């Protein structure tokens, strides 16, 4: 039996998953989906910042286009930290396409003129 807190919404339901992968404690179906995913293939959205090379002390926020394998989180952050981008850049611009062949892109989430 496993216990965890659902992080899908701020309500934070306390979930219990038995040996047959039956989930209890969830107030909605998303909690059950989260619990099964967390035990079988945990994923996370990753957010970070990238340096703006032609602006002093400026960064733009970035995020993954989808949740990625949790084990790749720190590799993604390291890859983003090694990069810089030139302003202007805009929300939705792709910083890294298909990072580590995951099918997930790293997107800019801030406009910098
Ligand atoms: S189970 Fe549903 S209501 Fe509860 S925290 Fe998860 S998403 Fe929110």
Domain ranges of the chain: 2-40, 47-108
pTM, 2 dp: 0.79
6 lines ligand 1 (CB under 6 A): yes
CATH of 47-108, one of 3.50.50.60, 3.20.20.80, 2.40.37.10, 3.10.530.10: 3.10.530.10
58 lines ligand 1 (CB under 6 A): no
pLDDT tens per residue, range 59-108: 999 999 999 999 999 999 999 999 999 999 999 999 999 999 999 999 99
Q: How many angstroms from the chain centroid is the CA of residue 91?
A: 16
35 lines ligand 1 (CB under 6 A): no
Tokens of 14: 């306390």
């Amino acid at each position: 039996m496993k216990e965890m807190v659902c992080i899908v919404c701020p309500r934070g339901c306390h979930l219990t998953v038995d040996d047959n992968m039956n989930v209890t404690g969830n107030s909605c179906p998303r909690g059950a989906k989260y619990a099964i995913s967390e035990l079988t293939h945990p994923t996370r959205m990753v957010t970070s910042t990238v340096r703006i090379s032609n602006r002093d002390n400026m960064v733009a926020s970035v995020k993954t286009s989808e949740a990625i394998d949790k084990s790749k989180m720190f590799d993604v952050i390291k890859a983003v930290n090694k990069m810089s981008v030139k302003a202007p850049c805009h929300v939705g611009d792709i910083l890294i396409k298909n990072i580590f062949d995951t099918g997930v892109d790293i997107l800019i989430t801030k406009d910098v003129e």
